Amino acid sequence: MSESAAETPADVFTAKGPASQDKPTRFFRRLARKPLAIAATAWLVAVSAAAVLAPWLAPADPLAQDLLAVKQTPSQAHLLGTDAFGRDVLSRLVYGAWPTILGIAEAVLIACALGFVLGLAAGYFGRWLDRAITQLVDLLLALPGLVILLSILAVFNRDMTVAMVTLGIMGSAGIARVARSATLNVRNELYIDAARISGLGDAAIIVRHVVPRIIGPLIVQLSLFAATAVLAQTGISFLGLGVQPPAPTWGGMVYEASQTITDDPWLLAPSGGAIALTVLAFGLLGDSARDAAAEGWTRGTRRGRRPAPSPRPTPSPRPTPGPTPATAAASPTAVLSVRGLTIVADGDTGERVLVDGMDLDLEQGQTLGIVGESGSGKTLTSLAIMGLLPPGTRATAGTMVLEGARYNLARPETLRRLRGSTLGMIFQEPMAALDPCFTIEHHLLEVLRHHGKAPRSQAKARAIELLELVRIPDPKDVARRYPHQISGGMAQRVGIARSLAANPRVLLADEPTTALDVTVQAEILDLLRDLSEAESMAVILVTHDWGVVADSCDRALVLYHGETLESATVEQIFSAPQHPYTKALLRANPHNAAVGQPLPTIQDSLRELLDDHDKETVA
């Protein structure tokens, strides 16, 4: 089937990788468009400049005392007032910024260098290196940080440089853990394998493909650690274990303000406000930088020209008259009937109709195949029946009659109690539907215990029965495994078993064989067909494959851009399709391709069929 033109992963992630297409100047331009980033950067730059230029910016000597002007509020002579010894608060605040900024820089640089390298190496190379680094990280996390810092200060005679370096080493453990986790998510992506096949070495792959993808969460983690370093440095000074009075520090100023809080509460505002704003600025800057970095590699096709939409075929008149889908009555024998399902997407220019007035009927034990190109609304239809439409889309109309009960599809909250017990669903990606943190048995027990009150022992026995029902060999052994320890075909069987756990009357299968090889596809389809017959279960099968429709379905429904073009038995669809679009779909079926001849596209076949129809009309 023809797909709409779009950039493929190979187009977006070339050998040079996404990082090479995103120059640092573009990153800073995106960052500069964020007001919070500008405000946070302005504050941090001002604090750093004040720390470096304190001798020239401070209006007075920070140590000079004036006992005739103690505890004064802000005035023209002292813009931020004076402390208990008559010293100028603004001058002490400016001079006190230097030890704070220096301590933050020392801790962050050490934590970044160690944490980033260790986490990246552990996540990318794995094996023994991952185990060794993980044990080291766990050891650092287990150490009591406050006790270690106090011990370091005692051993090294209150040396703040040694204390902040120690803080950086201990803080590198958290950064290493985040870097490792993010790298593990990227390491096994297909574009990493493509880069290896292209001949790139590990260093080039890490720099060009891995680092751009993990830099976002690392920026956030570093910003949080920088905020922690501010609190640690000022906390040590507050306790009097760092720079000794009367030398000005922000933490020392907070301690001095706490001694006079009852008769001079203003004194806490300058130092406390400076600390709070610095912590807040690091957090805001980290979030903004993460977003700016992510925007650099998630641009996709939005920066280029949008592909021209394919011309929609003009539906030809149906050969036989009959009621329109909007007025057709629901079948009295159907286990599931849907009437007038309309799904829209909310956008900047208003609502866009994705599925328009769809009707369908499903008899007990019957399998209905929904076919059409990508974007025709097949998956959205099944998700609307489950009440699980993705964000940004919603059903504005539609009625569902299920076992005699009527439901409004525009109110998905009313469908929640049907999921699992009456409506089951199998998703396209078998592994994506299984939580890697839990065993196969846990996945089944979770459903069984939720929908039933059976004891745990009976639920375990039922879980084994379900695995046997879907023809999994040695079900007791498979039940103890985790999702990553089974194959894709077996994972799909587990997904089917979980869908059957609550004995649903209707099963929705969203392209359940797309991610599987041909042999396993046939086994899964045979399994679904046998289960439908044995359990008298109705099935809605979403697929692109006409072979699947011919093998497994009793009826077929053809969708195009959300419109129902044709609905009939499988025999009628294959032997005498009525709509030109259905004929074009059948011509594009690879199973019917002539050897040595190019496969006709849908649009080419459709133009040819419409031309023939026009000629017949004229004749």
For residues 2-11, give the mean pLDDT: 37
**pLDDT band for position 303 (50/70/90)?**
very low
549 is written with which tokens? Answer: 């429709």
**pLDDT band for position 452 (50/70/90)?**
confident
**pLDDT band for position 306 (50/70/90)?**
very low
Per the model's pLDDT, the better-predicted residue between 148 and 612 turns out to be: 148
**pLDDT band for position 470 (50/70/90)?**
confident
How much is the mean pLDDT over the chain? 79
Q: Are 475 and 464 in contact (CB under 8 A)?
A: yes
Within 480-569, where are the H helices?
A: 488-500, 518-535, 546-552
**pLDDT band for position 390 (50/70/90)?**
confident
**pLDDT band for position 389 (50/70/90)?**
confident
Q: Can you give the pLDDT at residue 606? A: 63
Whole-Å CA distances, 10 to 18, 191, 195, 587: 11, 8, 10, 29
Q: Can you give the pLDDT at residue 239? A: 84
523 is written with which tokens? Answer: 């086994």
For residues 292-297, give the mean pLDDT: 65
Q: Can you give the pLDDT at residue 14? A: 36
State the Cα angle at 367 between 319 and 357, rounded to 5°. Answer: 50
Specify which residues 274 forms β-bridges with: none
For residues 455-480, give the mean pLDDT: 87
Among 16-20, 23-27, 146-150, 439-443, the range scoring the smallest mean pLDDT is 16-20
**pLDDT band for position 132 (50/70/90)?**
very high
Q: Can you give the pLDDT at residue 581? A: 81
Whole-Å CA distances, 351 to 182, 346, 384, 397, 513: 37, 5, 17, 14, 33
Q: Can you give the pLDDT at residue 30? A: 78
3-state DSSP helix/strand/coil percent for the chain, to nearest 5? 55, 10, 30
For residues 202-209, give the mean pLDDT: 78
Q: Can you give the pLDDT at residue 9? A: 35
pLDDT in tens, 235-265: 888 888 877 888 888 888 888 888 888 888 8
pLDDT in tens, 263-283: 888 988 998 899 999 999 988
Q: Can you give the pLDDT at residue 21? A: 40
Q: Which long-range contacts (CB under 8 A, 24 or more apart) does 239-248 make?
A: 241/150, 241/153, 241/158, 242/99, 242/153, 242/158, 242/160, 242/163, 243/99, 243/160, 244/158, 246/63, 246/85, 247/63, 248/62, 248/63, 248/91, 248/92, 248/93, 248/95, 248/96
197 pLDDT higher than 50: no
**Alpha carbons 430 and 488: distance in angstroms, whole number:** 6
pLDDT in tens, 572-583: 888 888 888 888
Q: Can you give the pLDDT at residue 169? A: 92
**pLDDT band for position 114 (50/70/90)?**
very high
Q: Can you give the pLDDT at residue 594? A: 64
476 pLDDT higher than 80: yes
List CB contacts of 108: < 8 A, sequence separation 6 or more.
168, 222, 225, 226, 229
**pLDDT band for position 315 (50/70/90)?**
very low
Q: Can you give the pLDDT at residue 611? A: 56
**Alpha carbons 147 and 471: distance in angstroms, whole number:** 58
For residues 78-89, give the mean pLDDT: 89
Among 17-31, 220-234, 392-406, the range scoring the smallest mean pLDDT is 17-31
Q: Can you give the pLDDT at residue 535? A: 78
pLDDT in tens, 506-565: 888 888 877 667 777 778 788 888 888 887 888 988 888 788 888 888 899 988 888 888
**CA diameter of the chain:** 112
pTM summary value: 0.51
Among 188-197, 348-357, 477-486, 511-520, the range scoring the smallest mean pLDDT is 188-197
129 pLDDT higher than 80: yes
Among 10-14, 104-108, 185-189, 208-212, the range scoring the smallest mean pLDDT is 10-14
